[in-house]
Amino acid sequence: MGWSVQAQSVVTLEQCYEAARANYPLLKQKEILARNGELAIGSLNLNRQLPQLALNGQATWQSQVTKLPIELPNFSIPTLSKDQYRLTLDASYALYDGNLSQLQTEVQRASTATAQQQVEIELNRLKDQVNGLFLNALLTDENRVLTRALLANLENRLEKLRANVRFGTVAQMDADALEAELLTAGQRLAQLDATRTGLRESLALLTDLPISDSTQLVVEEVPNAAGGVGTAELGRPELQLYRAQRSLYDAQFQLSGNKAKPRLSLFAQGGAGRPGLNMLSNDFRSFFIGGLRLNWNLSSAYTLNNDRQMITLNRQTVDIQQATFEKNLSVQLRQQQTEIDKLAAQLAADAEIVALRSRVREAAAVQLDNGAIAARDYTTELNAENQAQLNQKLHELQLLLARIQYRTLMGN
């Protein structure tokens, strides 16, 4: 039970990544895009599988009608009415459309994938927000630990100093100076507490995780970013977007050639009108027509070459955008690696600096107890030790953040 309670109070950086993504409203847009794509493809399939129906009607009046230019004795040739009516139901079914439906389906799928990948890029930027809140929260925790240690040292030293004041071996001024430093450290701790609460609440809002004051924030082991800055192992969503855009333009290129292909379809027309199919009859008649229809829009070849050149230029633009992105990313990775190397070098000297500052502070404490130095001299060395310890923790977390940012830049 104890292990279970402890496990529930730990939140890792990777959990924050996943929770922030799952809790972000923009994620729902990917589902909407996917659903829209499915509906569009479904409509294309229905249009391909089912006949196309159209109901047409017209009523006209015309100034002249067809007449036979002959007259026969004892025989009256009927005259058509100048008002004519027609109502038809037209049906057609494509036998050959140059694979139009499949090409349109591929374009729709590529378009949906492109739109979804653009959303994925926005979702990936959440990692930067999580990194900032998470690492600043860790730094605040370390700062609080060091400030509490500083307070404990000051309280212990002040208690001894007050005893010396009562015995008359130390001036009251030294005790007052130490007490003022104690109050200043208390103010700093109160500010850190407020900052810590704000960072954790912001992280909880972003991730919708139960992050409280007692929650332990843990960063999984981050591998060193040693090695080159090539793009062979990049997992950035931008690269997937460029691939999706190229696939879209490839599908559009294939579809553009379909306009110059012929269309063959079955058709049928049934209806009623005056006149019917017999143009010499002035009565309302029903009629039916059926057969094969061939359509070939030859004029579409006029602009086919231009259309394809435009698509090719758009695809080349994507190649340029990807090359620019990879170039800038290589520079960022190189700069980030330099930052990692710099922080690692600083951290190597921090341990020695802290050890030296601790020895100086311990010597100053003995001198303060013996009345050899003033309280302000001791607090100077105490603050210097505390600052050295804080710098060490700061460099540790900065190095951790730099490695995490390198991993984020790589898209891993």
Who contacts 399 (Cβ-Cβ below 8 Å, separation ≥6)? 340, 343, 344, 347
C-alpha radius of gyration, the chain, whole number: 41
Domains of the chain: 2-42+56-61+86-260+268-410 (1.20.1600.10)
- Top pLDDT among 114 and 4 is at 114
List pLDDT tens digits, range 212-223: 888 999 988 766
Token duo for residue 195: 């900052």
pTM of the model: 0.78
Instruction: Give bridge partners of residue 54 from the DSSP assignment.
Output: 90
How far is 161 from 378, CA to CA, in rounded Å?
12
List pLDDT tens digits, range 360-407: 988 988 887 777 887 778 888 888 888 888 888 888 888 988 898 898
List pLDDT tens digits, range 255-314: 998 888 899 999 999 999 988 888 777 888 899 999 999 998 888 888 889 999 999 999
List pLDDT tens digits, range 78-136: 778 888 999 999 999 999 988 888 999 999 999 999 999 999 999 999 999 999 999 89
From the CB of residue 70, how many other CB atoms can be counted at a distance below 10 Å?
7
Residue type, 104: Q
Who contacts 156 (Cβ-Cβ below 8 Å, separation ≥6)? none
- Would the pLDDT of 1 be above 60? no
Cβ–Cβ under 8 Å, residues 311 and 253: yes
